[in-house]
Chain A
Amino acid sequence: MRIDQEKCSGCGICIPYCPANAITIVNKKAQIDEDECFECGNCSRIRVVRCPKKAFFEQPGLYEGTRAARKFFSDPMTTHSVTKIPGRGTEEVKTNDVTGRVVRGQIGIAIEMGRPCLGTNMEQVEQMTVALGKLGIEFEEMNPLTHLMEDREKGTIKPEYMNEKMVSAIIEFGIPVSQMVPVMDVIKEVAKELDTVFSLDMIYRFEEDGSLPIVPVLEEMGIRVRKNSKVNLGLGRPVVTR
């Protein structure tokens, strides 16, 4: 994002809204540190910051270079050209009753790098994807991050994207339940090395009796399952019964 220096009055109302803390006042004008900017679009929205001078504008050619990754992984008002899904991941549990992405005997894992608050760069994302690649993880085809990988088996990211920063990038994949323990062990190990944070989530298909037998296994591993979750009620049609 950029600021028209002719229009900017230097009032500074935009400053607290920036999730990247990228806006400062220099010589009585607001300026954006483009290296830090996530391209989330907050500052330019007329119903968010409400800049009285309408001084914010998107830089020309944003969607043509590697910087587009910042936009797709930060601004939910954009829709990725490959997935056709707004936001930065898949429809995950939201439509799983219809898509059958995660069926009985499997779990779906999402590692939301940079969430909450800190954001991430691709170097940190690659730390996790390379570690998972060694376990033979097959990364989710419908997630835009997978399309930035140079080698999907190794989990390496294309070098030209390594300096891009974003609000969050989601590493998504499905595995058999039997692989859960070694995969979670690797995730826990990489967590110790990171300079950012990630939110971790796991999709599970309810058993026929409505139970969730993975919960005690997770707790035994020292992984706390929070009391709040997201439940797919199974009202979609046609419903996947597996």
Chain B
Amino acid sequence: MTHSLHRRGTEESLKDDYVLLVTSAYGFNHEGSKDKMRKVLEEVFAEEPANIGSYDTGTILSGVDIQEIRDALNDVPRVRCSFSTKEKMLAVLKKIKELDQGMSVTVSGLTEEVLDMAKELEIKPHCINLSLEVWGNVEKLPSEEVLELVTMCGHGLISSGLVEDCIEKVKKGRMTTRDAAIKISHPCVCGIYNPDRAEKLLEKYVPLKEEELA
């Protein structure tokens, strides 16, 4: 599924948010790909992703370490992570290209930025998945501010209730924006939620003054 697609937000807030997926194709090249993926994982981790995880373990933000993720790579191995700067994303892609392990690589982010990176690395992109908005009874959706955070987990495991609870605690000065960003990350088990972007989004909710809290 397209769990890294459909992130909500302005161009400005999506600018420093990239999701990298390295995937072996089941029935095509997954057999014997575990060692190849381990090499990719090591290079990716060396570039200090904002988050990384796996379906089998959970993420570094929830207390998993890279060795657990490495050990848990299964027979159809995948690498899932997010980066918060274009420079880091570019550096990782350069390394993956040099490694040339033959695994499929997708990057989710602002299309123009991703295509710019491909051009710089002399990579010819193969195909694209376009996000064509949300349809149906959209009036039932929570506010756009909540959606910006919730949609960083495309599997839909971050509830609007958790986001609203954390925003409330930030407003009341009971939780820092960083702590809130990390707490919201925990249900996202695969590692594509970007805590740096979340922290920036939560900074809009500065603690209220004492008279406002009264």
Binding site for B on A (CB under 8 A): 15-19, 21, 40, 42, 45, 47-48, 74, 76-77, 83-99, 102, 108, 110, 112, 114-119, 167-168, 170, 187-188, 191, 194-206, 210, 212, 215, 218, 223-240
Could you tell me if B156 and A117 are in contact, using CB atoms closer than 8 angstroms? yes
Q: Is B195 an interface residue (CB 8 A)?
A: no
Q: Is B21 an interface residue (CB 8 A)?
A: yes
A110–B5 Cα distance when bound, in Å, is 12
Could you tell me if B135 and A197 are in contact, using CB atoms closer than 8 angstroms? yes
Could you tell me if B124 and A204 are in contact, using CB atoms closer than 8 angstroms? no
Q: Which residues of A lie under 8 Å from residue B115 when comparing CB positions?
A: 210, 231
Inter-chain contact total with CB atoms closer than 8 Å: 292
List which B74-97 residues lie within 8 A (CB) of chain A: 76, 93, 96-97
Name the CB-closest residue of A to B185: A48
Q: Is B189 an interface residue (CB 8 A)?
A: yes
Name the CB-closest residue of B to A15: B161
A114–B158 Cα distance when bound, in Å, is 14
Q: Which residues of B lie under 8 Å from residue A97 when comparing CB positions?
A: 104, 126-127
A90–B1 Cα distance when bound, in Å, is 6
A72–B164 Cα distance when bound, in Å, is 27
* Overall SS of chain A's interface: loop
Q: Which residues of A lie under 8 Å from residue B67 when comparing CB positions?
A: none
18 more A-B contacts (CB under 8 A) besides A203-B129, A232-B126?
A42-B159, A48-B189, A76-B157, A87-B1, A92-B2, A96-B104, A117-B141, A197-B134, A198-B135, A199-B134, A203-B130, A205-B127, A206-B124, A210-B125, A225-B132, A226-B131, A231-B107, A235-B96
Could you tell me if B136 and A198 are in contact, using CB atoms closer than 8 angstroms? yes
Per-residue contact bits, chain B 58-72, to A (CB 8 Å; 1 contact, 0 not): 100011100000000
Could you tell me if A206 and B126 are in contact, using CB atoms closer than 8 angstroms? yes
Residue among B14, B23, B114, B127 with most chain A CB within 10 A: B127
Residue among A108, A196, A197, A230 with most chain B CB within 10 A: A230
CB distance from B97 to the nearest CB of A (A): 7
Could you tell me if A114 and B156 are in contact, using CB atoms closer than 8 angstroms? yes
Could you tell me if B108 and A229 are in contact, using CB atoms closer than 8 angstroms? yes
Could you tell me if B138 and A47 are in contact, using CB atoms closer than 8 angstroms? no
- Given A203-B127, A224-B132, A227-B110, the answer on whether A94 and B104 have CB atoms closer than 8 Å is yes
